[in-house]
Structure formats: structure tokens, C-alpha cells
Structure 1
């Protein structure tokens, strides 16, 4: 699972495919919510606000 900004979305997709050998599902964080999970405040690759969840 990756939580990333616009700039790092391609990197997260590539890493996911390398690990799981299948394309990920991609969700916009503003359009989803989970009861037991809170989105991190920063991208997994930088200090920007994350926009996507890659799972």
C-alpha cells in the first residue's frame, strides 16, 4: 500500500507492480474514507500532502 502525491503516483504504481506482479487499485483520498484507518499527512516519497491510495 502506498499513499502518494501526484508527482509520485507513477513510482508507486511501478513499485506495486514489481512487488505484486499485478496492477494496483488507485483511489483518490478525498473521495474515500475508512473507519479504522487515517491517511498519513505526507506522501510516502516526499513531504507533500498525499492525494492517492495505491493498493
Structure 2
């Protein structure tokens, strides 16, 4: 499970991940080369973070 998130929705993304997976995720910064094409999973803003499984 990967969740792309903007600054506004990062707390929600972390909460959703923990609720669904039962584990704390790893939060990574979207790689520079993917920043312009990666949208937030909750809105149309560009994603800054990716929440991923360990």
C-alpha cells in the first residue's frame, strides 16, 4: 500500500495507513524526478510525501 500525500493531507494519510495495515509506515519524500507528475491521493495538489510499507 502506497499513499501519495501533499503537506495538508499527510496526517490523514498516516492515520489511514495505520488503521488499514495495523503498522506504522515509512514516510518518504517524493523523488525529485517524479514530483511534477505525482498527485496527492486526496486532492489535486502535487504530492510531497509517499507513505509506504516497511
Q: TM-score, normalised by structure 1?
A: 0.78
In the alignment, does 2:46 pair up with 1:49? yes
Higher helix share: 2
Q: Distance in 2 between matches of 1:49 and 1:15?
A: 19
In the alignment, does 2:19 pair up with 1:18? yes
Q: Structure 1: give runs of 5+ residues left out of the alignment.
A: none
In the alignment, does 2:4 pair up with 1:7? no
- Structure 1 stretches (4+) deviating beyond 2 angstroms? 38-41
Q: Secondary structure at the match of 1:15?
A: helix
Q: Structure 2: give runs of 5+ residues left out of the alignment.
A: none
Q: Distance in 2 between matches of 1:53 and 1:15?
A: 13
Q: TM-score, normalised by structure 2?
A: 0.79
RMSD: 2.0
